[in-house]
Amino acid sequence: MPTILLVEDENTLAETLRYNLEREGYVVLLAHDGVQGLELARREQPGLLILDIMLPRLDGFSVCRILRQESDIPMIMLTARQDEVDRIAGLELGADDYVTKPFSLGELLARVRAILRRAERQPHSSNREVLEAGLLRVDTSSRRAWRDSDELSLPQKEFDLLTCLIRNRGIALSRDLLLERVWGLDFLGDSRTVDVHIRWLREKIEPDPARPRYIQTVRGVGYRFEAPMTELSPQEQN
């Protein structure tokens, strides 16, 4: 049976859903806020995500948007109000379905079954993951990266750092968090390691490393990746 990740901060609802999903035979993972949900989704690769929208730390829209850039995991969003449904339609975030609270258990379970059936029928898309931002393109399966049509020569840590930044675009990441994600918990260096690698990375990906457009410095925190809306390719600039 597939694993379902439930991201819901209302305890009573979360426990009720967990109980009933487990009774159906699913393995259920529970996260109580968006950041934890994102982490669990990445680590556990569940077969389906049930995602509340109003969540502490990181809302469901953001979780959906970030995960959609990385995977095609099926998602059902739980919305509390009708106007949120409109927002979903407008934002076209890529959720597979949504259920408006209050909903009946039977209704949710029916949708869970339908979506998992659909996902099963589709040949599982390969693990190929291509991240795009501005003129940058990163293929994590072949570990190759391009800026426009030029392939970048990135050593392992710079590649991992860039991948981590793009996956978390729009989010300020602390140096400690980047150290942990890219170098691992047992790494003995300090946060200057991050700064040095960011400098090297900027020299390769930024049109003007002195005025970075992709990797923004967040004072007192660390770095935030942004995909510039309008970056012209070198040919277009000429």
Summarize as ranges the residues that interact with Ca ion (CB under 5 A): 9, 52, 54
Please tell me the total number of residues recorded for the chain in this structure. Answer: 238
CB 138 within 8 A of CB 162: yes
Three-class DSSP category at 122: coil
Give 79 or 140: the residue with its C-beta nearer to Ca ion. 79
Give 9 or 160: the residue with its C-beta nearer to Ca ion. 9
Nearest approach, Cβ of residue 99 and Ca ion (Å) = 13
Give 52 or 160: the residue with its C-beta nearer to Ca ion. 52
Nearest approach, Cβ of residue 53 and Ca ion (Å) = 7
Write the DSSP string, 198-213.
Answer: HHHHHHHH-SSTTS-S
Nearest approach, Cβ of residue 57 and Ca ion (Å) = 12
Q: How far is the C-alpha of 166 from the C-alpha of 162, rounded, in Å?
A: 6
**Of all residues in this chain, which one has the CB nearest to Ca ion in the complex?**
54
Strand partners, 26: none
Nearest approach, Cβ of residue 34 and Ca ion (Å) = 10
Q: How far is the C-alpha of 51 from the C-alpha of 7, rounded, in Å?
A: 5
Three-class DSSP category at 30: strand
